[in-house]
Amino acid sequence: MYIPIARSMLFVFALSANVAVAQDNASQSDQAAVTAPRQVVLIIGDGMDEQQITIARNYLKGASGQLQLDKLMLRSSMQILTTEDQLTGKPVYVADSANTATSMATGVITSRGRISTSAGSDEDLTTIAELAAADGLRTGIVTTASLTDATPAAFAAHISLRLCENPEAMVDISFRGITLGDCSDDLKANGGKGSIAEQLANSSLDVMLGGGAKHFSPNAEGTTESVTSLARQNGFQVVTTAAELATTEPDKRLLGLFAPSTLPVRLQGENSREAEEPKRSWLNHIHPFLGSVTQPEPMICEPNPAFAAVPNLQQMTEAALSHLSYNNSAGFFLMIESASIDKQSHERKPCGSIGEVQQLEEALASVLAFAETHAQTLILVTADHAQAAQLIPYVSLFNGFPIPTFTPGKLAHIITPEGGHMAINYATSNFMMEEHTGATVPLFSNSEGLGRVPSFIQQPQLFDIIRDYLEL
């Protein structure tokens, strides 16, 4: 379904990799490199495209600053692939987080809304976490979304529709009376594996940390016990606060549920403001060259008070790394998601997205520190798809023309800490939510990726890279 990397290129990369890795790890003996466990940490910034990264960089580090991301040795580009929901469907040019997570988790292109099931035929697709667990490696997922949300779910669950997150959301799923889908075929009563939450509780994962407690509280299908109880029966210790997270048993499976659904984000607009529509005078409505347009007032980003109530992504990351590496000579696979870069962008909240890039950066810092003391740790950072935010000129390129220009859609005018003016627009949809966009996304890697991560890959190839590195 996708083009393999040219062998000649791989050869060149492999050669250069050997040299480079030898340099990087010069202090470690060859013997250690042979016997040390191998681990892969895949960090996904949901919706973290070049626009989101640039906006966050400008705010967090300044226009000429550098993010942790920018300092990673390898930067590649990842082509996103989606298909119609048919066996041989035509390509679809804009993805959702379900089909993209499936691509990364299973190496197979599927249709929007699907969680590690195949387009058209609805067959379960084996995930990298399942392969790793079967080979004796530990596995974990960490997210700022619900654990049952599309991105984390695709690493350990298999279902036809991402909305089927808990046992009560399996039949005739509707929102405000509008039917959005149905997972009846996936009911246990019908021979399926049940909802996403139930599948996670029955999964082989060792660590699950994130939000989504409300999806674990309903009774598991056909039982009188909650999905959380099911998880406990399967050996998970369950924690719900940062304090509890800090004192877990290191040798026991770990389920952290820190909020009913998505965790609170780190930053918000001043006075909780989001992007707003420029206000056109009545004369401007009569003719676009007439009258005036009032742009949204400038704002800064401020801390979201609710954020302090939950463990942050870095704390969850460090807990996961600690659990997965504890007394472990077999290695592990860990997926870490900063989910609300995307979610805040859907809601036209640039400060929210910026803060969640910051959370990803902090998690990355912890993973890099871990890799310093754990050889053979491949770090991959990427996005699942592109998103709506656009950094546009604060002063129009055409400001010489005395015409009231303004952006369609909604605009946020943010004053950065260095005193610059960022104008960010959201203009993909008139709906209450913005749409994703279709651009390729960046893929970053540490030096362990040399010889393995070429300059351009298709999203499903990420699965191959991880599988090959872990020798599964």
Instruction: Report how many residues bind a copy of itself under the rule CB under 8 A.
Output: 98
Cβ closest to a copy of itself, residue 53 vs residue 364: 53
Query: Minimal distance in Å, beta carbon 421 to a copy of itself?
Result: 7
**Contact assessment for residue 381 and residue 445, using Cβ atoms and an 8 Å cutoff:** yes
Among 40, 43, 60, 74, binds a copy of itself (CB under 8 A): 74
Active site residue 97: yes
Among 35, 283, 433, 468, binds a copy of itself (CB under 8 A): 433
Among 436, 448, 462, 469, binds a copy of itself (CB under 8 A): 436
Query: Minimal distance in Å, beta carbon 64 to a copy of itself?
Result: 6
Cβ closest to a copy of itself, residue 355 vs residue 404: 404
Query: Minimal distance in Å, beta carbon 412 to a copy of itself?
Result: 13
Question: Which positions from 217 to 246 touch a copy of itself by CB under 8 A, shown as an x/- string?
Answer: ------------------------------
Among 7, 27, 31, 64, binds a copy of itself (CB under 8 A): 64
> Residue 93: is it exposed, middle or buried by C-beta count within 10 angstroms (0-12/13-18/19+)?
exposed
Q: Which of residues 153-192 bind a copy of itself (CB under 8 A)?
A: 175, 178-181
Among 223, 300, 420, 468, binds a copy of itself (CB under 8 A): 420
Query: Minimal distance in Å, beta carbon 193 to a copy of itself?
Result: 24
Among 139, 317, 447, 461, binds a copy of itself (CB under 8 A): 447
Cβ closest to a copy of itself, residue 132 vs residue 169: 169
Question: Which positions from 278 to 297 touch a copy of itself by CB under 8 A, shown as an x/- string?
Answer: ----------x---------
Among 44, 60, 72, 105, binds a copy of itself (CB under 8 A): 72
Among 10, 25, 36, 54, binds a copy of itself (CB under 8 A): 54
Query: Minimal distance in Å, beta carbon 415 to a copy of itself?
Result: 11
**Contact assessment for residue 48 and residue 383, using Cβ atoms and an 8 Å cutoff:** yes
Give the interface segment with a copy of itself, choosing from 114-122, 140-148, 308-316, 451-459 (CB under 8 A).
451-459
Q: Is 24 in the site for a copy of itself (CB under 8 A)?
A: yes
Query: Minimal distance in Å, beta carbon 429 to a copy of itself?
Result: 6
**Contact assessment for residue 321 and residue 281, using Cβ atoms and an 8 Å cutoff:** no
Q: Is 53 in the site for a copy of itself (CB under 8 A)?
A: yes
Cβ closest to a copy of itself, residue 57 vs residue 114: 57
Q: Which of residues 372-411 bind a copy of itself (CB under 8 A)?
A: 386, 388, 390-398, 400-403, 405-409
Query: Minimal distance in Å, beta carbon 219 to a copy of itself?
Result: 27
Whole-number Å distance between alpha carbons of 149 and 202: 16
Question: Which positions from 311 to 350 touch a copy of itself by CB under 8 A, shown as an x/- string?
Answer: ----------------------------------------
Joined together, the tokens standing for residue 127 give 């995930």
- Give the 3-state DSSP-derived string for the chain, with helices as H, strands as E and coil as C: CCCCCCHHHHHHHHHHHHHHHHHHCCCCCHHHHHHCCCEEEEEEECCCCHHHHHHHHHHHCCCCCCCHHHHCCEEEEEECCEECCCCCCCEECCCCHHHHHHHHHHCCCCCCCCECECCCCCCECCCHHHHHHHCCCEEEEEEEEECCCHHHHCCCCCECCCCCCCCCCCCCEEECCEEEECCHHHCHHHCCCCCHHHHHHCCCCCEEEEECHHHHCCECCCCCCEHHHHHHHCCEEEECCHHHHCCCCCCCEEEEECCCCCCCCCEEEHHHCCCECCEECHHHHHCCCCCCEECCCCECEEECHHHHHCCCHHHHHHHHHHHHHCCCCCCEEEEEEECHHHHHHHCCCHHHHHHHHHHHHHHHHHHHHHHHHCCCEEEEEEECCECCCEEECCCCCCCCCCCCCCCCCEEEEEECCCCCEEEEEECCCCCCCCCCECCCEEEEECHHHCCCCCCEEECCHHHHHHHHHCCC
Query: Minimal distance in Å, beta carbon 283 to a copy of itself?
Result: 14
Closest CA to 326 of 242, 209, 206: 206
Among 76, 118, 139, 226, binds a copy of itself (CB under 8 A): 76
Closest CA to 269 of 354, 342, 346: 354
Residue of 8, 27, 97, 340 with catalytic role:
97
Q: Is 455 in the site for a copy of itself (CB under 8 A)?
A: yes
Among 44, 92, 128, 205, binds a copy of itself (CB under 8 A): 92
Active site residues: 97
